[in-house]
Each structure stands twice: as C-alpha cells, then as structure tokens.
C-alpha cells in the first residue's frame, strides 16, 4: 500500500491554495490540479457555519469540463467565524491588524467545507475546529502582519506560521482543518464513497 494509491479513482483538486495542495500530497493521494474560476461571494441568507460548504459546492458546480467515470473532483473553502460573523481575507494591512485584534484573547471557529463530486455521487460536508488565541500584543500583531503578509488567508492568520506558534493556546478539533483541508475526514469519506 502506497498511501492511498490503492484508491480506485483519479482525484482532481480544484483549489488555488498551496496549503491544500501540500496537505493532499502529504496524505499520499495522487491527484491532478484543475482550474476553477468562481466569484467567492457569500449568499446573504446562509448561516456562518454553512458558508464554507456552500462555497465549496459552488466551486464544484463551476467546473464544467466534465469528469471521466473514474474521476472525483475535490473542492473546498475555509472561513473563520468570530461571534457569528464571517471573516474573509483581509484587503489591507489595517484590515489584517483589525482582524487579529478581534481574534486576540478569544475563541473562534474555523469551518472548512468540502465537496466531493463524481459521475456517480455528489457529497459535501463541513468540519469545525475551535481555536483559542492568547491575548496578542500590538507589537506581535504588527510584526506578524508585516513579516508574513497574510492577505491570502481567511481571518488574517496561518496556524502553521509564527503567529500560530506564539499565539494559539489550544484547539479543539482537526489541526489540518484550520490549515484548509480536514484530511482525516476527507480520507474517511473517500474510503466510504469510492471503495
């Protein structure tokens, strides 16, 4: 058994996130990248804990190239939720600093939604992880934002980066879910659906 090489399908990953690509590689599943362009806008009537799954499904539907019978398309989206509000990617230094001030000293939720689609099935799920930040000092936030420039990250942080190492006291749930892909859950769902 070479990782999941025995999995009887060809995975297609529709994601621009380098972290998702890295995680899927580490899982030992061979996959091919496909490009999907979609507006990541949130429908106003979707509750915060369902936004990620809805966006993952929207990405899957935007893939119009067609699937071969042995292909499974994986798409995903991750959002950070603080006090029932969705924090997206920050558009500026000030917005990134503002988001980290919001998360400082609090527990927030990270939801990753995943869609799995083939010619035989269509499945989606959401995985939630609770994340607890210590009280961050102003100079820690400024140092992180200026050094790591987290403008491509929901909630303005990467758990695997410096701010996660000095700032995240504890999590409850899957660590890799916070990075952007709930790998254990994905692995289990693939085993269930494909084998």
Catalytic residue among 45, 49, 77, 138: 77
8 Å CB contact between 116 and 122: yes
Distance of closest approach, residue 92 Cβ to a copy of itself, in angstroms: 21
Who contacts 31 (Cβ-Cβ below 8 Å, separation ≥6)? 10, 11, 12, 13, 24, 25, 74
- 45 tagged catalytic: no
Question: Shortest distance, CB of residue 93 to a copy of itself, whole angstroms?
Answer: 16
Sign of the CA dihedral 85, 80, 14, 16? positive
Distance of CA 47 to the CA centre of its chain: 17
Q: Which is nearer to a copy of itself, 19 or 58 (CB)?
A: 19
Measured from the CB atom, the residue of 57 and 181 that comes closer to a copy of itself is 181
- Residues forming contacts to a copy of itself in the complex (CB under 8 A) are 1, 3, 23, 26-28, 129, 134, 139-140, 143, 159, 162, 165-176, 183-185, 187-188
- CB 77, min distance to a copy of itself, A: 20
Q: Which of 78, 77, 63 is nearest to 117 (CA)?
A: 63
- CA–CA separation, 65 and 186 (whole Å): 23
**Which of 31, 187 has the CB closer to a copy of itself?**
187
Positions annotated as catalytic residues are 77
């Amino acid at each position: 058994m070479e990782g999941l090489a025995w999995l009887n399908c060809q995975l297609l990953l529709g994601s621009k996130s380098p972290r998702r690509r890295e995680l899927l590689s580490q899982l030992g599943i061979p996959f091919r990248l496909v490009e999907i362009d979609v507006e990541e806008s949130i429908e106003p009537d979707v509750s915060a804990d369902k936004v990620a799954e809805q966006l993952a499904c929207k990405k899957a539907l935007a893939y119009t190239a067609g699937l071969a019978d042995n292909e499974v398309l994986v798409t995903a989206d991750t959002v950070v939720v603080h006090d029932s509000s969705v924090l997206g990617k920050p558009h500026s230094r000030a917005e990134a600093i503002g988001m980290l001030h919001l998360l400082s000293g609090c527990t927030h939720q990270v939801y990753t939604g995943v869609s799995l689609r083939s010619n035989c099935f269509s499945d989606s799920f959401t995985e939630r992880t609770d994340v607890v930040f210590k009280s961050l000092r102003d100079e820690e936030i400024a140092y992180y934002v200026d050094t790591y420039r987290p403008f491509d990250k929901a909630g303005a942080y990467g758990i695997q980066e410096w701010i996660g190492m000095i700032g995240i006291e504890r999590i409850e749930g899957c660590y890799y879910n916070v990075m952007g892909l709930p790998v254990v859950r994905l692995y289990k769902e693939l085993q269930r659906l494909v084998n």
